[in-house]
Structure 1
Amino acid sequence: MLTINVTSVYVDDQAKALAFYTDVLGFVKKTDVPAGGARWLTVVSPAHPDGVELLLEPTGHPAAQVYKEALVADGIPFTSFAVEDAQAEYERLSAAGVKFVQEPTDLGPVVTAVFDDTCGNLIQIAAEKG
């Protein structure tokens, strides 16, 4: 059986991304290892410190930059994070200065919202309705 242990989000600046993903979003740094001119830099949910790691991967390859820009231009989130309550998380993050491009929207089985991660990506939060 396959298990996801690391997934990536391309970031323009690893230090800026680490500050945003930890200080603003609330993730915690898991791994920080030099890797050439960059770092193998991951964060995890404090609720699941041994869970899936999010690699804050530098946008080094030219195709990665074009890909990120195309997603943002089309309003497509790079990835999605699960939350218990999308409205409450929207309010918490908005109060912390996070800029949302989509307010909480009821899509039937889920409520989603989309924000700018300040690192070149749109990120979706989603809460399943019970």
Structure 2
Amino acid sequence: MLTLTLATYLVHDLDDGIAFFVDALGFELREDETRPSGSRWVVVAPSAEGPGLRLAVAGPGDPLGRQAGDGVGFFLRTSDFAAQHARMSAAGVTFLEEPRHEVYGTVAVFADPAGQRWDLIQPAGE
């Protein structure tokens, strides 16, 4: 059996990335340590359980903000869309559209500071 534990997520700056994911999105800061090489290892996650994102500073030519091309690359599931949307909006998250109701649930697209698109979604029936 395989389990995905981490995915690397490119940011402009680690401290700004931590602020966005922890303060604006409500993620947990799982790890923030300086390695003997001097590099920082930073991991954030939406909860204590499940996979997380290892934040890494983008280098020249890296697809910062375009990790999924022009599409939505990441999907945050919630059981209380209205509360999450209100909290994230108050924290300065830029929503690119008004919440909409689809057959699969309530959804709104937002962008991270680099422009990467994300979905906030509450599946139908939750």
TM-score normalized by structure 2?
0.81
Aligned to 2:44: 43
> Residue 23 of structure 2 contacts residue 91 of structure 2 at CA under 8 Å; is this kept in 1?
no
> Percentage identity across aligned positions?
31
Aligned pairs (5 A) from 1:16-55? 16-34=16-34, 38-45=39-46, 48-55=47-54
Structure 2 residue identity aligned to 1:42: V
How much does 1:40 deviate? 2.0
Is the alpha carbon distance of 1:25 and 1:70 closer, same or farther for their aligned partners in structure 2, counting shifts above 3 Å?
A: closer
Which segment is superposed worse, 120-129 or 55-64? 55-64
Unaligned runs of 5+ in 2: none
TM-score normalized by structure 1?
0.79
Unaligned runs of 5+ in 1: none
Aligned to 2:11: 11
The runs of at least 4 aligned residues of structure 1 exceeding 4 Å deviation read 35-38
Match of 1:103 among 94, 98, 104: 98
- Kindly tell me the number of residue pairs found equivalent between the two proteins: 124
Whose helix proportion is higher, 1 or 2? Answer: 1
Aligned counterparts of 1:80 and 1:70: Cα–Cα separation in 2:
12
**RMSD (Å), alpha carbons:** 2.3
